[in-house]
Amino acid sequence: MDVDIARVEDAARELYIRALKILPDDIKQGFERLDRVETDAGGKRVLATMIRNIGVAEDTGNLLCQDTGIPIYNVTLGRNLRVDGVDLEAAIIRGCERATREHPLRSSVVHPITRKNRHTSTGRRVPVINVAFSERPDELVIEMIPKGSGSENNSWLKMAVPAEGVAAIERFVVDCVLDAGGKTCPPTIVGVGVGGSADLCVHLAKVAATRPLGSVCDDPEGAALERALSAAVNELGIGPQGLGGDATAFAVHIEIAATHITMNPVAVNMQCHSARRARAVLTPAGVTYGF
Amino acid sequence: MASDRSLTLGTPVTEAQVRALRVGDMVTLEGTLFGIRDATQIHMFDRGRRTRFDLAGHAVIHTAPNVRKVEPSPAYPAGYAPVCIGTTTSMRMERYTRPLMQDCGVRIIVGKGGLGAESLRAFGELGGVYLAIIGGVAALETTWIEAIEDVDLDDLNPESLWKFRIRGFGPLQVAMDSVGGSLYADVDARARSKRDAVLAKLGAR
């Protein structure tokens, strides 16, 4: 397939706006599940308001949350694609800028030292564009994640040592959830990276935090740990918005990478209850949108 | 002890009105609400910039809205139409609570995630409260905003100082009051008291 660059630009624009307005089905189901088991009256009231907001956003065509986030585009290139990578990157950036200008959206992106806002949602190295490859022929997948700062500001890395074992990972995750309290807009998806190098570990935490609810770590040890931690963090009583209750997290998600014999890294990145993402699949037949 | 009173407050409010509020009360605001954010307060309190707005007795919300620039008209007096107005995490702006109250006379802070011990002391000494709005429900919150009446310090856009006209803004929960009550401190203390038991259970698996 020859990748149509104009189509990529349109998709990058459309994805940003769709992600901000329509919550994925798995997150909606996650809300229903948390609401069913919430025992705290205040927590139930907060969850009900969050669920109501999802409907208001869809009925009024408005954004779910004011935070347009740091834009992230995850590009997966299948087999048999012909595309110029430089053109692909430029098209995604143009699509992101057009969404911001044409909707319009609040540009939440500034220079880190001057704090100047170009009002384009873009800047040096932003949007974040990650590239991966898949076996699927004639298919280009673009996932868009507007990552809100309330949750992103609660990100941590600990280079624990092997002697501390898996207990260091468990302790670190629980302490991060305690320190985040209500600041991350709980209920959250707690993303945990385990292993790798420092940068890979932090990246995996983000991958974990933005994985669909119901998905499971593909490493059996990681899957067992995410089950145990999912139950553990919801025993703390932080609750929706940190105002008390059972629903502190939809889930704890873990992503694993091999690491060095001397290392035991663990990173945490959280996704807020407005766990927004959108996906476009470009094939010779056209573009389809989903989550 | 948490109460469950529901009341409506028109802004500006008096010190007595604010001091009568207790954690757990549900408050709906009517009238005017001012929007402030990190950059707004950095410029006001660290760089000495002044606003022409009188914030005395007023409520402020931690926000930076999505807006559309339009021709000024009776419906859009500031030349901005609201697109999506929500709330940001308050804790980053903890150190500005006291100057907001002391220098500007603010009585009510609306935010999400709560403020810390220094803000709680300021609420007690100067007479103020923190009203918890639910973060991330901006589509709903936008329906409580009637208009963007005015804007100041707009070179900081979107972190300008916004003046919103509101109708039925809430219900919001009093989460920090002027007699030392903080729902966030209570929840945090309870959660930390469970930490060791939760970790022991994880270790035993």
Residue B85: which CATH number?
3.20.130.10
Tally of domains in chain B: 1
d(CA A214, CA A222): 14
Predicted local confidence at residue A8, as pLDDT: 98
Mean pLDDT for chain A overall:
98
Does B63 contact A153 at a Cβ distance shorter than 8 Å?
Answer: no
A3 and A81 Cβ atoms separated by less than 8 Å: yes
pLDDT digits (tens, 9 = 90+) for A139-163: 999 999 999 999 999 999 999 999 9
Tokens standing for residue B4: 């469950």
B88 vs A contacts (CB less than 8 Å): 66-67, 149-150
In B, residues 12-41, which contact A (CB 8 Å cutoff)?
39
Does A174 contact B191 at a Cβ distance shorter than 8 Å?
Answer: no
The count of C-alpha atoms lying within 13 angstroms of the C-alpha of B132, restricted to the half-sphere facing its C-beta, is 30
d(CA B188, CA B121): 18
pLDDT digits (tens, 9 = 90+) for A71-100: 999 999 999 999 999 999 999 999 999 999
Predicted local confidence at residue A86, as pLDDT: 98
- Number of Cβ atoms within 10 Å of the Cβ of A25: 13
B3 has a pLDDT exceeding 90: no
A171 vs B contacts (CB less than 8 Å): 199
Cis peptide before B72 (omega within 30 of 0): no
Helix (H) or strand (E) holding A53: helix A41-60
Q: What are phi and psi of A111, to 5 degrees?
A: -65, 135
A174, A181, A184: residue with CB nearest B188 = A181
State the average pLDDT over residues B141-169.
97
B2 has a pLDDT exceeding 70: no
A63, A149, A243: residue with CB nearest B66 = A63
State the average pLDDT over residues A263-286.
98
In B, residues 149-168, which contact A (CB 8 Å cutoff)?
157-158
A270 and A188 Cβ atoms separated by less than 8 Å: yes
B26 vs A contacts (CB less than 8 Å): none
d(CA B100, CA B40): 11
Predicted local confidence at residue A246, as pLDDT: 98
B63 vs A contacts (CB less than 8 Å): 66
| ipTM of the complex, rounded to two decimals | 0.95
B185 vs A contacts (CB less than 8 Å): none
Shortest CA gap B143–chain A (Å):
9
A67 vs B contacts (CB less than 8 Å): 86, 88, 136
Domain contains B1: no
In B, residues 121-150, which contact A (CB 8 Å cutoff)?
132, 134-140, 142-143
Shortest CA gap B201–chain A (Å):
8
> Rounded to two decimals, what is the model's pTM?
0.96
Shortest CA gap A177–chain B (Å):
10
Predicted local confidence at residue B1, as pLDDT: 43
Angle at A257 between CA A252 and CA A262, to 5 degrees: 110
Mean pLDDT for chain B overall:
96
A153 vs B contacts (CB less than 8 Å): 89, 92
N-term to C-term CA, chain B: 38
Residue in the block written with tokens 């170009």: A118
Predicted local confidence at residue B4, as pLDDT: 72
d(CA A16, CA A183): 24
For residue B70, give its domain range.
6-203
Domain with CATH 3.30.1330 in chain A: 5-20+64-148+276-290
d(CA B196, CA A98): 50
d(CA A48, CA B140): 12
Shortest CA gap B3–chain A (Å):
12
Tokens standing for residue B139: 């589509």
Tokens standing for residue A40: 């705290």
CATH topology (fold) of A5-20+64-148+276-290 = 60s Ribosomal Protein L30; Chain: A; (3.30.1330)
pLDDT digits (tens, 9 = 90+) for B67-100: 999 999 999 999 999 999 999 999 999 999 999 9
A4 has a pLDDT exceeding 50: yes
**For chain B, what is the largest distance between any 2 Cα atoms, rounded to a whole number of angstroms?**
66
- 3-state SS, residue A257: strand
Size of interface A-B (CB pairs under 8 A): 172
Predicted local confidence at residue A205, as pLDDT: 98
Does B175 contact A243 at a Cβ distance shorter than 8 Å?
Answer: yes
Does A50 contact B132 at a Cβ distance shorter than 8 Å?
Answer: no
pLDDT digits (tens, 9 = 90+) for B50-65: 999 999 999 999 999 9
